[in-house]
């Protein structure tokens, strides 16, 4: 739900977030349990690393995301147009103003991050601000602010973390506990070398699919909530069309740098047609535009 704001609540999104977190938590327990059982006396190390990484990711997710994407916080004097748009939308939505940042990138995009409204940050790239008109920019920012209001940014951050954790813990297991036991039980070590990467791979695949399913729905939910707040779905549709069309003109190297963060972006960055489009974190452009057309018709009535 979206308390303390005028963004329309989405029970479907809430249900999906709760379901995703339940299964992600179950996978987390299974992964740690398998490693604890496999490593014997090394289990305290696994628990400490797993717990420490989880806490660090949750509490510092906004800073990690900002650093990874090259975002820098800006003042109203440095970016008056961007701050003005965020001010207007926050007043309209009756929600606290997040920190505002700019990423120096020609890839036209925007994202929101933060574990709650008090720690939230909204960022736009220089490429986005250069290409969009003021009302189009407000449409994109309204979309991003709805992620903050619906609290799905925190859920996506936690859900995405499990795949990273699976890889880290597997490396620790293979380099640490298994290595120390190598001289004592070669048969057991061989079995662990097979089981631990297999479990890790299964956990990664399931968590990947869960986050992709949630991500596609949350983008549609953010489009809907953002358009209803501003009352101008056509401006968001215009921004979507313009940004998606311009992606083909962006250098491939820049798109490849942005692709790891697609789940958090307004529009995914793809370096041409690839297998990645089959597992996109966003619904197809046609579906997003069709939803906005329906909203425009409803508001017109």
Active site residue ranges = 144
Across the chain, the runs of DSSP E, i.e. the strands, are 71-73, 99-103, 110-113, 121-125
Residue with tokens 């793809």: 270
Task: Tell me the C-alpha distance between 203 and 163, whole Å.
Answer: 7
Residue with tokens 């940042």: 101
Task: Tell me the C-alpha distance between 82 and 252, whole Å.
Answer: 27
Torsion of CA 182, 186, 188, 189, to 10 degrees: 40
Q: Are strands 121-125 and 99-103 parallel, antiparallel or unpaired?
A: parallel
Residue with tokens 């549609």: 220
Is residue 43 a contact partner of residue 36, using CB atoms and an 8 Å limit?
A: yes
CA 272 to chain centre: 21
Which residues are paired to 125 by β-bridges? 103
Tokens describing residue 11: 């029970």
CA 30 to chain centre: 24
Is residue 158 a contact partner of residue 24, using CB atoms and an 8 Å limit?
A: yes
Q: H or E segment at 182? A: none
């Amino acid at each position: 739900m979206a308390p303390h704001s005028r963004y329309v609540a989405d029970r479907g999104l809430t249900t999906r977030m709760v379901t995703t977190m339940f299964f992600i938590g179950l996978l987390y327990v299974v992964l740690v349990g398998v490693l604890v059982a496999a490593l014997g006396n090394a289990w305290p190390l696994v628990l400490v690393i797993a717990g420490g990484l989880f806490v660090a990711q949750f509490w510092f997710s906004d800073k990690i995301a900002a650093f990874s994407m090259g975002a820098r916080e800006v003042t109203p004097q440095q970016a008056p147009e961007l701050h003005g748009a965020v001010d207007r939308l926050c007043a309209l939505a009756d929600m606290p103003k997040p920190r505002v940042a700019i990423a120096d990138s020609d890839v036209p995009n925007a994202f929101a991050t933060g574990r709650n409204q008090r720690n939230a940050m909204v960022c736009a790239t220089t490429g986005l601000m250069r290409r969009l008109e003021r009302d189009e920019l407000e449409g994109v920012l309204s979309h991003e602010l709805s992620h903050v209001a619906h609290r799905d940014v925190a859920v996506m951050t936690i859900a995405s973390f499990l795949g990273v954790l699976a890889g880290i813990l597997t490396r620790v297991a293979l380099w640490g506990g298994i290595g120390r036991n190598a001289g004592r039980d070669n048969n057991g070590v061989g079995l662990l070398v097979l089981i631990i990467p297999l479990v890790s791979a299964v956990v990664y695949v399931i968590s990947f699919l869960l986050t992709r399913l949630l991500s596609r729905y949350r983008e549609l939910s953010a489009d809907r909530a953002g358009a209803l707040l501003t009352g101008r779905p056509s401006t968001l549709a215009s921004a979507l069309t313009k940004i998606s069309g311009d992606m083909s003109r962006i250098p491939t190297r820049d798109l490849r740098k942005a692709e790891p963060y697609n789940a958090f972006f307004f529009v995914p960055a793809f370096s041409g047609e690839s297998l990645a489009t089959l597992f996109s974190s966003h619904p197809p452009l046609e579906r997003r535009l069709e939803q906005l057309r329906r909203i425009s018709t409803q508001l017109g009535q």
